[in-house]
Amino acid sequence: MTVRIWSDVRCPFCYIGKRKFEGALEQFPHKDKVNVIWHSFQLDPKLTTQPGLHSYDYLGRIKGLDREQVVEMHEHVASVGREVDINFDFERAIVANSFNAHRLIQMAKTKGLANAVEEELFKAHFTEGRNIDDHDTLIAVGTTVGLPVDEVRQMLASDLYTNEVMEDEAAARAIRIRGVPFFIIDDRLAVSGAQASELFLRALNKACADAEIDIVKQS
């Protein structure tokens, strides 16, 4: 069974969705047969990295909200995050374009390390206040999960994996994905958003049951 996940490491709900999906996967009887494939999606591809701009001010500007509204919204997200053991620190979050981070994920996919890199990038951005567009940060993330430091450095100095990021985003547009996280389970079921683990588990079980019915029909 294949589960495709479109996600942006700048998206707090993608981090929450990852945790909730993982909670469901742990309960799924056939979890060892599930292949998770991460796909790139940028919520704001035109964003300019601005380490000196507070994330509250950035969000207030693009959403047309005052600071009090933005703070209240983030407090709600932080509360949801605590339910799945995520310690969001939005006060330290750096406004950063995620394109290079996605290139790192694409590189990690070739070595079976995409899930680990996703987790480290989420943690770097949302809990450690690190700049996920900074090459030193990305090199550190890559080497933490086992990517060769020289290969990561060479990738960042080139345009490697640019096409792969763009292809993922084109695929999302083709199937009309407008927000993330977005999950496609075994090319049968779609789940949009950071849904409850129980919903993900039902979807996994249904996709598995449907696949078994198809096998019976074909035999």
pLDDT in tens, 95-144: 999 999 999 999 999 999 999 999 999 999 999 999 999 999 999 999 99
Cα(108)–Cα(101) distance, integer angstroms: 11
User: What CATH number corresponds to the domain at position 187?
Assistant: 3.40.30.10
The closest alpha carbon to 11, from 32, 47, 45, 42, belongs to: 42
Residue 124 lies in domain:
2-218
**Ordered DSSP codes for 7-66:** E-TT-HHHHHHHHHHHHHHHH-TTGGG-EEEEEE--S-TTPPPEEEEEHHHHHHHHHT--
Instruction: Render pLDDT for 48-105 as a digit per residue (tens, 0 to 9).
Output: 999 999 999 999 999 999 999 999 999 999 999 999 999 999 999 999 999 999 999 9
Place of tokens 């509360």: 79
How many residues are given for the chain? 219
Place of tokens 């086992």: 146
Contact 76, 11 (CB under 8 A): no
**Exposed/middle/buried for 126, CB within 10 Å: 0-12, 13-18, 19+?**
buried
| CB-based burial, 26-51: b 16+ in 10 Å, e otherwise | eebeeeeebebebbbbbeeeebebee
Contact 186, 10 (CB under 8 A): no
As for how many domains the chain has, the answer is 1
Model's pTM, two decimal places? Answer: 0.94
